[in-house]
Amino acid sequence: MLLGCVGDDFTGSSDLANTLAKGGMRVTQYTGAPDGPAGADVEAGVVALKSRTLPKDAAVRQSLHALEWLARQGCRQFFFKYCSTFDSTPEGNIGPVAEAMAAALDATSVIVCPAFPAAGRSVYQGHLFVGDALLSESGMRDHPLTPMTDSDLRRWLARQTALGVGHVAAPVVARGAAAILAALEAEDAAGRRLIVVDAISDADLMAIGAAASGLKLVTGGSGVALGLPENFRRAGLLSGAGAQWRGVAGPAAILSGSCSTATRGQVAAHRGPKLEIRAEQVMAGEMTGVSIAEWALVAKGGVPLVYSSAEPETVHAAQERFGREEVAAAIERVMGEAAVGLVGGGVRRLVTAGGETSGAVVEALGLGALRIGPEIDPGVPALKAEGRDLALALKSGNFGGADFFARAVEALGPRTAPAGAP
């Protein structure tokens, strides 16, 4: 393994895995650090954690455990993947985890770059934009768990870490890899180890990737990984053999616990049977994983969609009444149980929306390694669970076009196996 990645959620991990696979690396995504060694053909390993909203000590502990496993697989470089909208609270977990990983690796000049222009996220003057809006004026200000109320990444990160926070500005990035590396080293030498780097285009990200070729640790969204496969290719380290991927035939279902703007649009656009699960019903035990799976397994007229996705006012009201963590955990548990019921009932193609939701589902299903397949929409690949007859798409909250669900279901495989198929 050449590149070892730790992702702070499951959809984000598959977003990164997708970028690396498109860059020509053989990539596997793991649910937490495995007990045994990785397959010999894996060139990039992404250990997916559900650590984005954990208490920071637990997030650091899990991330270091994953890092140790990746180091044992022989990785030469390491990547900490967080959200392109920098999802975190003033306490963490991006700063504390980046700081701990840098210390463990003795890494200097640590890039901090959530930019993902293909999904509308850019970093300019140290500020994060979503489309043409500042992060704090985008839908992210209403996120159920990590409301983002400050767009200045330097200021937000400085609240989370004792390390100095630096900045490499757009004009330097435009001058290319050598200028970027020199600026990173100058920032580190001045005591600013975590360095926010501006990026507004894929060309910027490619240059930053080239500058990072000798750095031990890179942190960011999937965008800043765009240029990394090329470094390994140039060094003659990639096999060049694309990974084999095959979908799975069988019934499909969709579970959506994301309340992000894009997901709510996709829920509205879905043509097929829909079941809304409301927070009060879950908290009262009236809606359970079993009852949801029973509904979906007999639903007629298309692919069933189960969703708790709701408008910010509805989410706030539920949080006031039941507590933010409590209601989130209860909905995630029900989604996980529903997934177990659905797969037990024959579902073979499963689409989930939301990082926390996807983590709950993948953990409840006990899935180990996921093979990366073709891209469905920017940042969302088709996945196949190794050793299981199950294909998945784990969609980040704000990713995907309005008709994402229909196209995802199709990308995972056919409703029935073609005649003569094994």
Ligand X SMILES: Nc1ncnc2c1ncn2[C@@H]1O[C@H](COP(=O)(O)OP(=O)(O)OP(=O)(O)O)[C@@H](O)[C@H]1O
Applying CB under 6 A, does 378 fall inside the site for ligand LCNOYBR7? no
Task: Find all residues with CB under 8 Å of 171, minimum gap 6, and list them.
Answer: none
Identified binder of ligand X from the candidate list 221, 257, 304, 341, rule CB under 6 A: 257
Residue 350 sits at the vertex; the CA angle it makes with 79 and 408, to the nearest 5 degrees, is 75
Among 355, 373, 378, 381, binds ligand LCNOYBR7 (CB under 6 A): 355
Torsion region of 364: left, alpha or beta (phi above 0 gives left; psi -120 to 50 gives alpha): alpha
Closest distance to ligand X from the beta carbon of 27 (Å) = 19
Do 243 and 29 contact (CB within 8 A), yes or no? no
Pick the piece of the chain touching ligand LCNOYBR7 (CB under 6 A) from 11-19, 267-275, 306-314, 345-353: 11-19
* Contact with ligand LCNOYBR7 (CB under 6 A) among 3, 4, 5, 9: 9
Orientation angle between helical segments 261-269 and 404-412, nearest 10 degrees: 80
Determine, following the binding rule CB under 6 A, whether residue 378 of this chain makes contact with ligand X.
no
Which candidate, 400, 375, 285, 377, places its Cα nearest to that of 331? 285
CB-neighbour burial class of residue 145 (10 A; exposed 0-12, middle 13-18, buried 19+) = middle
356: partner contacted, choices ligand X, ligand LCNOYBR7, none (Cβ within 5-8 A by kind): ligand X
Interface with ligand X includes 11 (CB under 6 A)?
yes
Which lies closer to ligand LCNOYBR7 via its Cβ, residue 116 or residue 307?
A: 116
- Closer Cβ to ligand X, 7 or 166, answer by number: 7
d(CA 220, CA 7): 10
| 127/151 Cα distance (integer angstroms) | 5
Cα-based torsion angle of the residue sequence 210, 213, 215, 220 in order, rounded to the nearest 10 degrees: 50
DSSP string of 203-246? HHHHHHHHHGGG-SEEEESSGGGTTHHHHHHHTT----PPPP--
Cα 27 from Cα 29, distance rounded (Å): 7
Of 1, 5, 6, 15, which one interacts with ligand LCNOYBR7 (CB under 6 A)?
Answer: 15
Which one of ligand X, ligand LCNOYBR7, none is in contact with 224 (Cβ closer than 5 to 8 A by kind)? Answer: none
Which sign, positive or negative, has the C-alpha torsion 184, 100, 220, 227? positive
Give least dist CB 233 to ligand LCNOYBR7, A.
24
Which residues fall within 8 angstroms of residue 291, CB to CB, at 6 or more apart?
Answer: none
Q: Does 221 bind ligand LCNOYBR7 (CB under 6 A)?
A: yes
Per rule CB under 6 A, count of chain residues that contact ligand LCNOYBR7: 13
Selection from ligand LCNOYBR7, ligand X, none that 221 binds (CB < 5 to 8 A by kind) is ligand LCNOYBR7
Residue 94, amino acid: I
The amino acid occupying position 163 is: L
Stretch that binds ligand X, among 25-33, 65-73, 139-147, 229-237 (CB under 6 A): 139-147
- 102: contact with ligand X by CB under 6 A: no
Tokens for 180?
């970027």
Shortest CB 105 distance to ligand X, Å: 26
Residues 6+ apart with CB under 8 A from 26: 41, 42, 43, 44, 239, 241, 242, 243
Check binding of 359 to ligand LCNOYBR7 (CB under 6 A): no
Verify binding: residue 122, ligand LCNOYBR7, rule CB under 6 A: no
Q: Which of 280, 399, 9, 319 is nearest to 142 (CA)?
A: 319
| 258 near ligand X, rule: CB under 6 A | yes
328 binds ligand X (CB under 6 A): yes
Letters for 62-91 (x = contact with ligand LCNOYBR7 by CB under 6 A, - = none) are ---------------------xxx------
Interface map 333-372 toward ligand X (x if CB under 6 A) = ---------------------xxxx---------------
Contact pattern from residue 391 through residue 410 relative to ligand LCNOYBR7, giving x for each residue in contact according to CB under 6 A and a dash for the rest: -----x--------------
Residue 121, helix vs strand vs coil: strand
**Interface ranges with ligand X (CB under 6 A):** 9, 11, 143-145, 257-260, 263, 279, 308, 310, 314-315, 318-319, 327-328, 331-332, 354-357, 396-398
**Interface ranges with ligand LCNOYBR7 (CB under 6 A):** 9, 11-12, 15, 83-85, 116, 221-222, 355, 379, 396
